[in-house]
Amino acid sequence: ILSLVAEFCCGFFVILILGNFWFLAVLYLLWLYLDWETPCAGGRRSQWVRSWTVWKYFREYFPIRLIKTSELNPNHNYLLGFHPHGVLVAGAFGNFCTDPPFKNLFPGLTPYLHIMPIWFGCPFFREYIMSAGMVSASKESVSYVLNNEGGGHASVIVIGGAEESLNAHPGSLTLNILKRKGFIKMALKHGAHLVPVFSFGENELFKQVANPKGSWLRNVQEKLQKIMGFALPLFHARGVFQYSFGLIPYRQPIHTVVGSPIPVKQNLNPTTEEIDELHALYLQKLKNLFEEHKSNYGIPEHKSLIFE
């Protein structure tokens, strides 16, 4: 979805260059140069964009619901680990980039959804995603958000990243997390409390072409992901007037459950052992969150998370 909108924006920019409005393209390039660091400095959110009526219909289509299990004190900064990535990351967008779900449940906290820096190089598209509250997933960007002295900031990071989207099959509970410890180090350096978030139903929105590990398709997808920085899952769902084939996601409910915070004491130079210890605690809290709520959202009792 993001790539389609980005392609449209890039196409519009090309039209400006080739048409009689090339001077507008030149002015925008100048603006792009001057504004290049903004996605790493908190972005430029717009309450007007985040409150568009269309987002209400977007959330109700599935529907998307945000579930609160614990209070988050706005005097602290938080790092929310979002799982799983899925194909669309609909739960992350619907709950953290549109109002009022998060604002109503967690007053005093401002969420920032961190996405791949490559998206902020797309003309015009970058302005839209920043207005929705998205910022770069670079270390500098996360540090900027978590450095807020008065607290009240929440970095939302999709921990599994693009690689995890290749596992986004209906019923899949596999998370790419065992080797992902950078977010733990960032939480320690800034003393940001860690909060596990699990989005039930995220993997049910699309059917993906079979791509088991070791298959030729998976090998090609993984190589492309390393080259381009983002994955290319081959997926389909429903159409506008029929349910057999198309690119519109299925109407499957998404329940994004926000867990209890893990208190983190600031440590500017954490050791490998300290990072591993907090990482192990985070995995246990994430697993507990899933086990506690899975029966509410149609997950069979015998199924559990798989960490890779």
Domains, the chain, in order of start with CATH, read: 1-35 (no CATH), 39-307 (3.40.1130)
What pLDDT score does 8 carry? 53
Instruction: State how far the Cα of 211 lies from the Cα of 176, in Å rounded to an integer.
Output: 16
198 in Cβ contact with 290 (< 8 Å): yes
Handedness of CA 74, 75, 77, 82 (dihedral sign): negative
The whole-number pLDDT of residue 16 equals 62
- Peptide bond connecting 101 to the previous residue in cis, omega within 30 degrees of 0: no
> Tens place of pLDDT for every residue, the chain, 308 residues?
455 555 555 665 566 666 666 677 778 789 889 999 999 999 999 999 999 999 999 999 999 999 999 999 999 999 999 999 999 899 999 999 999 999 999 999 999 999 999 889 888 889 999 999 999 999 999 999 999 999 999 999 999 998 899 999 999 999 999 999 999 999 999 999 999 999 999 999 999 999 999 999 999 988 888 887 777 889 889 988 888 888 899 999 999 999 999 999 999 999 999 999 999 999 999 999 999 999 999 999 999 999 99
Look at the pTM and tell me if it is higher than 0.85: yes
- Per DSSP, which regions of the chain are E strands? 64-68, 78-83, 110-115, 134-136, 153-158, 174-175, 193-200, 207-208, 235-236, 254-258, 306-307
> Amino acid letter at 71?
E
CB-CB contact of 207 with 171 (8 Å): no
Tell me if residue 260 falls in helix, strand or coil: coil
Cβ(189)–Cβ(270) below 8 Å: yes
Task: Give 7's contacts (C-beta < 8 A, 6+ positions apart).
Answer: none
Termini Cα distance of the chain: 26
d(CA 216, CA 212) in angstroms, rounded, equals 9
pLDDT in tens, 179-198: 999 999 999 999 999 999 99
